[in-house]
Amino acid sequence: MADTIKLHDLEFMPYLSETEIGKIVDEVSIKINEKYAGKSPLFVVILNGAFMFASDLIKKVNVECEISFLRVSSYRGTASTGEVKEMMPIGTNVSGRDIILLEDIVDTGNTMGEIKQQMKDAGANSVSICTLLFKPDAFKGNYLVDFIGVEIPDRFVVGYGLDYDGLGRNLPSIYQIRPNT
């Protein structure tokens, strides 16, 4: 893994390597395959950040499934705006379906809380949340996060689909903001 990197005005240090991420993704896929054996879930990939995680994870899912996409945005710079804007509707009927929301990171939990509620209101049979990264110290939701890849401290991260104002999504590993920046 490369050394410290700079994106815009901020510096980031290596945090999770490609190998570590691969192991985490494997573990999550095993749990999903167990829980959804015999079912036909609909994955809803939360764009933009979850595209890389979703691509790696879904290749390891061996149950019959469908995949759809939902584009939302609630971040500006390194802070959540707290308001969730739905930007691209999934265009798939969720009524009666077993939904698995695929997210890169759950921070305050506002985004997933809102989307979960929208899916329930639209008549989903069940709605699970699957996230690669979870910040327990920032989480304010009153719901369960069903599948968690790894818990991380409340510090801004980039890479593996996650960006800082548009940059860093292409990095194959995850970097954490450098202390005192």
Residues with Cβ < 8 Å from 146, sequence gap 6 or more?
128, 129, 130
Q: Output 80 or 125, the one with its CB closest to ligand 5GP.
A: 80
In the complex, minimum distance from the CB of residue 50 to ligand 5GP, in angstroms, rounded to a whole number: 7
In the region spanning residues 114 to 143, those forming contacts with ligand 5GP, defined by CB under 6 A, are none
- Could you say which of 103, 119, 130, 160 contacts ligand 5GP (CB under 6 A)? 103
Q: Pattern 151-170, binding to ligand 5GP, x per CB under 6 A?
A: -----xxx---xxx------
Rounded to 10°, the helix 51-58/18-35 angle is: 60
Active-site residue, selected from the candidate residues 107, 137, 146, 163: 107
| By the rule CB under 6 A, 70 interacts with ligand 5GP | no
Strand 79-88 relative to strand 66-76, pairing: antiparallel
| By the rule CB under 6 A, 145 interacts with ligand 5GP | no
Q: Does the N-terminal peptide bond of residue 48 adopt cis geometry, omega within 30 degrees of 0?
A: yes
52 three-state secondary structure: helix
Whole-number Cα distances in Å, 179 to 39, 73, 105: 45, 26, 20
Q: How many residues bind ligand 5GP (CB under 6 A)?
A: 19
Angstrom distance (rounded) from CA 118 to CA 122? 6
Q: Is 107 a catalytic residue?
A: yes
The catalytic site residues sit at 107
Which residues of this chain interact with ligand 5GP, rule CB under 6 A?
A: 49, 74-75, 80, 103-111, 156-158, 162-164
